[in-house]
Structure 1
């Protein structure tokens, strides 16, 4: 745990949301179960095995000491979440969590929720994916974008901010899309976004009729029974991409499954959509550096012919 404590002792005052310690990346031996994130003004410590009272007390003391240096007189706010054997337990350890809680990333505003559920409303490891989408939409103003498995629609926010004409957001969760609508409102985006609470595999007709799209973003769960299982459902989706994309349009394919390597997506694409050209795998944020990159988030960019 010493590497985590050493990192806390040298923390900077955060402005944007982001990861500050990534034990799961395997670069800090003995700390593989720990992650520390900043969702200003709250810190979130995640443990992937139960922590002892002594460990939590040591982390609390380290955070308190550093926070007194960074923000004298201000209350320390931190949350502990334990994820173990399919269960998630979240506790407020000190201070308070704002309600509503809004964080920033590269000038965009996003609502997050730290005390309920495993996911917080903004996937921090996808920051470079959002950066790429922002740059792509800025370079191709007036794009129509399809955002599949949209969750809380962060991709949609940055696409519209960068000049996209329209974004179609699709997700099975009405609750996630409702937060997505709040995110658009927070950023002053009153027009250009559609929010469809549909099962993708029952909605191809509607999605195809609304196309074609200059950019298709695919960011599914790797395994969510009743929604998407990567090993069987990604192929079904890939074969639809040529009909969804404009000539020269791009697809961003995301996969966050440690057991599946980049080759899984590339081989499936070669079979299902061989005319689409692989351009690059996006680099993950430096804070998510991994000693085994194939275990980490994979974000691949493909281009349609023309």
Structure 2
């Protein structure tokens, strides 16, 4: 874990939520199991393999030493999570965790919850996707957005802040949507967003009537038993996109799977909705660089045909 300790020795004090060490990307031999994230004022240390108390103490001591330089008058707040497949064990190693815990990403604020659950309320690897949504909404003020698998509605908050007139957030997890409502209130967003705790596959009629949508965001889990399995369910979503999108509208399709590559989405789209044109794959944040980019998060942008000439953007893209 030399690379992790070296990264800790060079830490700067963060202001926004961000990843600061990404062993999972395979670029740091010997530290592949580790990641370190900043959710100010808390550090989140994660291991994807069991770790000895000795190794954990070594990392914690390195954090304490660096923090004493960065913030000598402040306690070190550190949470450790052991993640194995779909299970996690989380405990506070040092200091305290605010409750409620609010973090920032640029101009946006989000509620997070580190000590409980497998996920923490904000997916840091999706920062570039949120920036793309922000830029898209600034270029198209008043746009209508459909946010599928909305989780805590981070995309919705960004879209509304940047000028969207309406966002429909859909997720089966009512608890996550409640946090999404808090995120909207936290950012002073009072109107324009709706929150539907529905099964997407049983709600197509309602979703179609809420449109047409200038942007449809699809960010499902790669695998969630009883809810979504990418290999069989993604194509069902794609078939609906032409009916949900306004002429010239955009679709953002996300896939966080180490096994399924970009070609999985591109090939399915050619079968399910060939009228949608592929524009680009968004680059992931530099902190999430991966030795094998196809194992990392894939975020692809497509565009529906327009009613008239000159409305489509860009040229057919290529996979980097």
| TM-score normalised by structure 2 residue count | 0.95
Q: Quick check: 1:73 aligned with 2:69? A: no
| Inter-partner Cα distance in structure 2 for 1:20 and 1:284 | 14
Once the two structures are superposed, residues 171-200 of structure 1 have per-residue CA deviations (whole angstroms, 9 ceiling, x without a partner) of 000000000000000000000100000000
| Inter-partner Cα distance in structure 1 for 2:253 and 2:88 | 28
| Inter-partner Cα distance in structure 1 for 2:191 and 2:66 | 43
| Inter-partner Cα distance in structure 2 for 1:124 and 1:31 | 20
Report what 1:53 is aligned to.
Answer: 53
> CA RMSD for the aligned pairs?
0.6
| Inter-partner Cα distance in structure 2 for 1:85 and 1:140 | 40
Report what 2:144 is aligned to.
Answer: 144
C-alpha displacement at 1:84, in angstroms?
2.0
Once the two structures are superposed, residues 212-269 of structure 1 have per-residue CA deviations (whole angstroms, 9 ceiling, x without a partner) of 0000000000001111110000000101000100110000000001100000000000
Q: Secondary structure at the match of 1:240?
A: helix
| Inter-partner Cα distance in structure 2 for 1:260 and 1:14 | 33
Q: Secondary structure at the match of 2:110?
A: strand
Report what 2:275 is aligned to.
Answer: 275
C-alpha displacement at 1:87, in angstroms?
2.5
Once the two structures are superposed, residues 2-60 of structure 1 have per-residue CA deviations (whole angstroms, 9 ceiling, x without a partner) of 00000000000000000000000000001110000000000000000011111111111
Report what 2:255 is aligned to.
Answer: 255
Where do 5+ consecutive residues of structure 2 fail to align?
307-320
| Inter-partner Cα distance in structure 1 for 2:72 and 2:31 | 29
C-alpha displacement at 1:85, in angstroms?
4.8
Once the two structures are superposed, residues 59-114 of structure 1 have per-residue CA deviations (whole angstroms, 9 ceiling, x without a partner) of 11100000000001100000000012543100100000000000000110000000
Once the two structures are superposed, residues 138-186 of structure 1 have per-residue CA deviations (whole angstroms, 9 ceiling, x without a partner) of 0000000000000000000000000000000000000000000000000
Q: Quick check: 1:235 aligned with 2:235? A: yes
| TM-score normalised by structure 1 residue count | 0.99
Q: Would the aligned equivalents of 2:153 and 2:177 in 1 still touch at CA under 8 Å?
A: yes
Aligned length: 306
Q: Would the aligned equivalents of 2:110 and 2:154 in 1 still touch at CA under 8 Å?
A: yes
| Inter-partner Cα distance in structure 2 for 1:79 and 1:125 | 19
Report what 2:290 is aligned to.
Answer: 290
| Inter-partner Cα distance in structure 1 for 2:139 and 2:84 | 43
Q: Would the aligned equivalents of 2:87 and 2:118 in 1 still touch at CA under 8 Å?
A: no
Where do 5+ consecutive residues of structure 1 fail to align?
none
Report what 2:62 is aligned to.
Answer: 62
| Inter-partner Cα distance in structure 1 for 2:86 and 2:65 | 33
> What does residue range 104-253 of structure 1 map to in structure 2 within 5 Å?
104-253=104-253
| Inter-partner Cα distance in structure 2 for 1:160 and 1:207 | 19
